[in-house]
């Protein structure tokens, strides 16, 4: 019975997180705090949300006047991911060449 109540509570809060939209008169800080409250409540109820899902929920709930800002944030996140992947690739290449160099020295 507790699990059923917990599941119902998670669904209710998740619906609020997904459907809540910032009003024209609402302060950005107040809206973000409200959304973070929903996220914290979901996590307390056992839901696991990754960082992208949390960020997307807050960005997508902004008023239409924030559309360009939202686009910029998404592009910046993709840029950071590309840089991170590039650095990871470079590190892997360096490690592989180091390993293969060590193996050749042993022969």
Are 72 and 54 contacting, i.e. CB atoms less than 8 angstroms apart?
no
Burial pattern 73-84, b for ≥16 Cβ within 10 A else e, equals beeeeeeeeeee
- What pLDDT band is residue 25 in, cutting at 50, 70 and 90? confident
List Cβ neighbours of 98 (8 Å cut-off, separation of 6 or more).
none
pLDDT, tens digit, 9 for 90 and up, residues 55-98: 888 888 887 766 665 567 667 766 666 566 566 656 656 666 66
Calculate what percentage of the chain has a pLDDT beyond 90.
24
Kindly report the pTM of this predicted structure: 0.58
Q: For residue 6, how many other CB atoms are within 10 A of its CB?
A: 13
How many CA atoms lie within 13 Å of 67's alpha carbon, on the beta-carbon side?
2
Are 49 and 42 contacting, i.e. CB atoms less than 8 angstroms apart?
yes
């Amino acid at each position: 019975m507790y699990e059923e109540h917990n599941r119902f509570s998670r669904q209710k809060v998740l619906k609020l997180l997904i459907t809540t939209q910032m009003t024209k008169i609402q302060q950005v800080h107040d809206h973000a705090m409200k959304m973070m409250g929903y996220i914290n409540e979901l996590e307390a109820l056992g839901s696991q949300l990754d960082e992208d899902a949390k960020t997307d929920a807050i960005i997508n709930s902004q008023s239409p006047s924030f559309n360009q800002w939202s686009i910029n944030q998404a592009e910046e996140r993709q840029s950071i991911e590309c840089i991170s992947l590039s650095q990871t690739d470079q590190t892997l290449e360096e490690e592989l060449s180091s390993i293969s160099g060590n193996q050749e020295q042993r022969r």
